[in-house]
Structure 1
Amino acid sequence: MAIIIWKTLILPLIFALALAPCSIALGHQNQSQSQSQPSLATTSAIPKYHGGPLLTGPRGINIYLIWYGGFFHKDTASITNFFASFNPSNYSHPYPEPTVSAWWKTFPSYKDKAGNSVSSTVKLVKQVGDAHSLGKNIKRAQIANLIKNKIETNIFPLDSNGIYLVLTAKDVVVERLCMGSCGFHDSILVSAKRLVYAHVGNSLQQCPGLCAWPYANSANGPPGQALVAPNGVDADGMVMNIATVLAGAATNPYKTAYFQGDALAPLEAVTACPGIFGAGAYPGYPGSLLVDKVSKASYNAYGINHSKFLLPATWDIKSLNCKVVG
């Protein structure tokens, strides 16, 4: 069974149970400041190492992307900019802080039992489109089979340190999407190799309040004003969830590494820090964020080509705290 991103994150009870004690750092251009937060949960929410492998290849984590269904160019451009932003060399100098690449720096602190670190880089190496070959109402098992087909037909290579990512368009209904889940990661066996794959859906038409908060009004939590999305609710909602599944897949690829709770529905490197994007976050409030002076869009990380993104807090394995990019 797949590992799920649970997105009932802003309910006060869930937040209180799942959120670990946090020391949250808010990044500003050319400066940063940290603000300690009171404990909102017991330390039982801490992801623990269970002895399994991580994605540790020295050449980085390769992303093989399938665009399933129809996407607007502005959305594909924003998401590909996000992936390109993992590489510091892609930024023009001087570049503002904090960056997407800085956000990923938490994860090489996660090590396997041999002392190998999670790969320090993520790169999009190949992307293909798929015009609804499976229809517009698909099962999770079909996503796995779609990826297997792309590998067996040599469209994608066999890559044991890769993540095969399927992004579905807003008119595609995927099993369990919007039913407590905004995406998932799992693994499949292809030619005697165990490969990691993931799915994230565009939730704009189906459940923006569940999967695109705080850029949409919450479906479950306290009422509040939705924030302005720098790249549109479609793209930014997907980026937040892509970031979450990438972190989980890298640190818990086979459900045997870093997690807390049930291995089939675990708290992982990001989901252990639900609903936190900036300093002072609490249920219904994402925290203090940067705001674009012209568009009024809220964000907390810079990418290439002057792009801006909102990335979730991560569990810092060194400090045992939730940490926002900064």
Structure 2
Amino acid sequence: MAFLDGYKYAAFLSFVAFTVFSTSVADNASSHSTAFLHPESKFRQVRKFHPVRKTGGFSYSPEPTVALDYHFGPVMTGRNDVIKMFVIYYGHFSRKQKRVLSHFFKSFSQNETQELHKPTTEKWWGLTRQYVDLYETPVAARLVYEGEKSNNYSLGASLNQSDIQTLVVKSLESFGASSRSMYLVLTSEDVLVERFCQNVCGTHFFTFPSDATNDQMLPYAWIGNPAKQCPEICAWPYAPGGFLKEGLIPPNGDAGIDGMIITVANLLAAMGTNPFGNGYYREDGLAAAAVCQGVYGDKAYSGYPGNLLVDKSTNASFNVYGYKDSKFLVPFMWDPATQQCALQA
């Protein structure tokens, strides 16, 4: 039997991971959501990343002191080297907001030729290819934006973490169930979500096998729009904070949506490299991009995002190009090959 077929071995390992970690997280989550919480599922856009002391001064490119460890579980190899993404827009998103987000999702598998010297979303995702399973199979090369649906507040404007899973399971009627796919729930700026802005900007979880999921575990994530509730936390550096007295200009003209994209990128990397809580993560629970949180350019340090690209026509700051030459900001990711935070493969 192939290691990843049906992710049945993953189910066993993830059950073990849940047994080990459920007690430690019980104080921070409800008993229901705890059953689906694993070490690095929380992500907060933290800006306090301290420079490392070196002989002769400080390093301005933060370096985690502990490398990511592999815990013998699967990574997301997808099907035929492709991971499908399905998106649920919960609440109210304008056409422009959906267009910006869909352009970001399409950037992982665009067919347009990019200039070789340009940093791109595709090359950023290429860093995940350094993460392999027990059979040396890497994370899938491509993410494909497969489908979306809108949900007009079917569960109200205040959600628990358990409601996120309910939305995902309900969406399977349209999207179908596959443990080799990613399911994303995006909530609009007027939707309150448990723990949002208190200690997380987004979370990723997985379902245990059930009739509704065709006996599969399904990786899914939730990301909230922080525009009204906590831009200084979850939309930084497009909101003031740290050494930034004024927020940078967002490339798509919407600090909330551009802030969401940062968190989406972080959680896509986490799901790809640690979908069931037994893949790659540091001993403190941080995963592939979270260990480089707050780092978006060279010479980054605590409270400063680093040297970024600037759009000459708008003065907006970004670090990667995407679909139809769109522009985005994504966090640096830990590169196991070089043992450093990096932007491109």
TM range (shorter): 0.7 to 0.9
CA deviations 1:193-213 (Å, max 9, x no partner) are: 111110001010000010010
Structure 1 position 191, deviation (Å): 2.6
- Following the alignment from structure 2 to structure 1, what is the Cα–Cα distance between the partners of residues 110 and 161? 34
Alignment partner, residue 159 of structure 2: 138
The SS at the match of 2:147 is strand
- Following the alignment from structure 1 to structure 2, what is the Cα–Cα distance between the partners of residues 88 and 306? 10
Match 2:266 to one of 215, 223, 244:
244
Query: What value does the CA root-mean-square deviation take over the aligned residues?
Result: 2.1
Name whichever structure is richer in strand by fraction.
1
1:235 aligns with 2:235: no
1:85 aligns with 2:101: no
Structure 1 position 141, deviation (Å): 0.4
- Following the alignment from structure 1 to structure 2, what is the Cα–Cα distance between the partners of residues 38 and 138? 40
Structure 1 position 178, deviation (Å): 0.6
Structure 1 position 88, deviation (Å): 4.1
Alignment partner, residue 300 of structure 1: 319
The SS at the match of 1:103 is helix
The SS at the match of 1:105 is helix
Which stretch shows the higher mean deviation, 129-138 or 305-314? 305-314
Equivalent pair of 1:20/1:321 in contact (CA under 8 Å)? no
Structure 1 position 9, deviation (Å): 1.7
Q: Which runs of 5+ in 2 are unaligned?
A: 1-33
Q: Which amino acid aligns with 2:264?
A: I
Q: Which amino acid aligns with 2:276?
A: Y
Q: Which amino acid aligns with 1:178?
A: C
Runs of 4 or more off by more than 4 Å in structure 1?
36-42, 92-96
Alignment partner, residue 10 of structure 1: 47
Alignment partner, residue 281 of structure 1: 300
- Following the alignment from structure 1 to structure 2, what is the Cα–Cα distance between the partners of residues 42 and 239? 23
Structure 1 position 254, deviation (Å): 0.6
Equivalent pair of 1:8/1:180 in contact (CA under 8 Å)? no
Alignment partner, residue 267 of structure 1: 286
1:113 aligns with 2:113: no
- Following the alignment from structure 1 to structure 2, what is the Cα–Cα distance between the partners of residues 185 and 217? 27
- Following the alignment from structure 2 to structure 1, what is the Cα–Cα distance between the partners of residues 197 and 264? 15
Alignment partner, residue 245 of structure 2: 224
Equivalent pair of 2:62/2:301 in contact (CA under 8 Å)? no
- Following the alignment from structure 2 to structure 1, what is the Cα–Cα distance between the partners of residues 129 and 189? 33
Match 1:127 to one of 148, 154, 179:
148
Q: Which amino acid aligns with 2:192?
A: V
Alignment partner, residue 26 of structure 1: none
Match 1:212 to one of 208, 230, 235:
235
CA deviations 1:157-181 (Å, max 9, x no partner) are: 1111111100000000000111121
Alignment partner, residue 33 of structure 1: none
The 1:20–1:146 alpha-carbon spacing in structure 2 relative to 1, beyond 3 Å, is farther
Structure 1 position 20, deviation (Å): 8.1
The SS at the match of 1:163 is strand
The alignment's TM-score, normalised by the length of structure 1, stands at 0.86
Identical residues among aligned pairs (%): 35
Match 2:217 to one of 191, 194, 197:
194
Total equivalences in the alignment: 299
